[in-house]
Amino acid sequence: MRNVWILALAQVLGACGTIIVVTFGGIVGSVIAPTPALATLPMALTVVGVALAALPATLVMRRFGRKPAFITSALLGAGAALLAAWATAHAQFALFCAAGLLIGGSQAVVMQYRFAATEYAPLEQAGRAVGMVMLGTLVAAVLGPEIGDRARLLGGWPEFTGSFVALAALLSFGAVTLAWLGVPEMRSVATAAGERPLREVALQPAFVVAVLAGVSSFAVMSFIMTATPISMHVHDGMTVTATRQVISAHLVAMYAPSLVSGWLTRVLGLKRMMLLGVVAMSTCVAIAAVVGHEFPHYLAALVLLGLGWNLLFVAGTTLLTQTYTAAERFKAQGFNDFIIFAAQAAMSLFAGSAIEAVGWVGLNLVGLPLLVAMTAAIAWLAARERTGEPRAAGP
């Protein structure tokens, strides 16, 4: 499991890209954006960057291998972070948006670390391998905002410039860490017919449910999380420290369950784990929309949002790895990530205007139909399994 731990450490450093942008990007945007409705655009473009790079990233990895792609992406992300620092210092909103897009592109490769981890572990330990890598983001959830906050006044530069300089350093260290990554012993392709067309892989019921789990977890989580700093700091007048505490608690809740995710997948089963994720996210919506939006309400809602995301996403990722062969992995993983992050990008782009148009309560209600659809999909897959229909056709 040495290589899984290397990927987990690289995840600590790489995940700081998204975390620092999420924590401070909206606040920077609210200062330098030409209109308040565009304040979350740089954050949203980070997700757009992930979506746009998802398929090209897997093609590059298929052609050159995971390790060179991982290292190159980390270095490109460091360069994008320096661009964000320059844009912040000079109040250049368009360049800050471009930096967000480029950081997102590098994060598309970071998102592949979880799939790479399963290639260093037996199939039955795939959930544990995914959880170990995601555990790295738990550390990043604490490390990223803390370093970003401490560095925000660095060097006497304009506020938050130093946050992105620090991010560039973290991503550069990530590239060094990845240099120690070994080569996995790939599982043999288990189908005599060879590599199947993507359409055949993607139409499997288990594949459909796995992708929907990723879409619903990321879209709902991103929509609410993206708007939270604006709602707390700009609309409700809470301090940067209070806002950071809520985002940090949310990020910890997103990744802390990874400590026991392998155990949860075995004890609960993937369908129950996904269903619990839906329940937690729905409870978040109920608190935010019905109870109120004082600091304790934000804190409780965002913690539940993070917990629900983890349960739904880890179970969905584990289910996805059971639907394709080794030869099919890059196109299946790339297609999955493209769909997930395209949906997340759309919700992130909508978040800035939504918080201005319908407020915090209305914004939280938007994700409910997707959570209802996810519940129906879990029930559908369970019904198919009860009738004896195969869940997956992978190895």
pLDDT of res. 395: 37
pLDDT of res. 191: 39
Locate 243 and state its tokens: 């806002």
Residue with the larger pLDDT of the pair 259 and 218: 218
The sign of the dihedral angle between the CA atoms of 132, 116, 55, 202 is negative
* 312-339 per-position pLDDT tens digit: 998 998 899 889 888 898 899 889 988 9
CATH number of the domain encompassing residue 215: 1.20.1250.20
Residue with the larger pLDDT of the pair 279 and 21: 279
pLDDT of res. 381: 94
What type of residue is 294? E
pLDDT of res. 167: 96
What count of Cα atoms within 13 Å lies in the side-chain half-sphere of residue 220? Answer: 37
What distance lies between CA 31 and its chain's CA centroid?
26
What type of residue is 22? V
* 340-374 per-position pLDDT tens digit: 888 877 877 777 778 778 888 888 898 899 999 99
pLDDT of res. 392: 46
Tell whether 98 is covered by a domain: yes
Locate 131 and state its tokens: 């959880």
Euclidean distance between CA atoms 229 and 226, whole angstroms: 7
| Residue 275 lies in domain | 2-182+198-386
The sign of the dihedral angle between the CA atoms of 109, 114, 120, 123 is negative
Residues 381-389, mean pLDDT to the nearest whole number? 83
| Non-local CB neighbours of 270 within 8 Å, separated by 6+ positions | 315, 318, 319
Tell whether 191 is covered by a domain: no
92 Rama sector, left if φ>0, alpha if ψ -120 to 50, beta otherwise: beta
Average pLDDT over the chain, rounded to an integer:
87
Tell whether 193 is covered by a domain: no
Tell whether 86 is covered by a domain: yes
Domain count, the chain: 1
Taking Cα atoms as reference points, which of 323, 322, 326, 319 lies closest to residue 187?
326
Query: 287 phi and psi, to 5 degrees?
Result: -65, -45
* 170-196 per-position pLDDT tens digit: 999 999 999 999 877 654 333 334 689
What distance lies between CA 122 and its chain's CA centroid?
24
Residues 139-151, mean pLDDT to the nearest whole number? 88
Euclidean distance between CA atoms 102 and 96, whole angstroms: 10
Residues 113-124, mean pLDDT to the nearest whole number? 82
Tell whether 188 is covered by a domain: no
Tell whether 190 is covered by a domain: no
8 A C-beta contact, residue 40 and residue 309: no
Residues 255-283, mean pLDDT to the nearest whole number? 88
Burial 143-175 (b: 16+ CB within 10 A, else e): bbbebbbebbebeebbbbbbbbbbbbbbbbbbb
What type of residue is 329? R
Tell whether 111 is covered by a domain: yes
Global pTM? Answer: 0.74
Tell whether 192 is covered by a domain: no
Q: Residue 122: how many CB atoms within 10 A of its CB?
A: 10
Residue with the larger pLDDT of the pair 195 and 1: 195
Euclidean distance between CA atoms 44 and 346, whole angstroms: 8
**3-class SS of residue 190:** coil
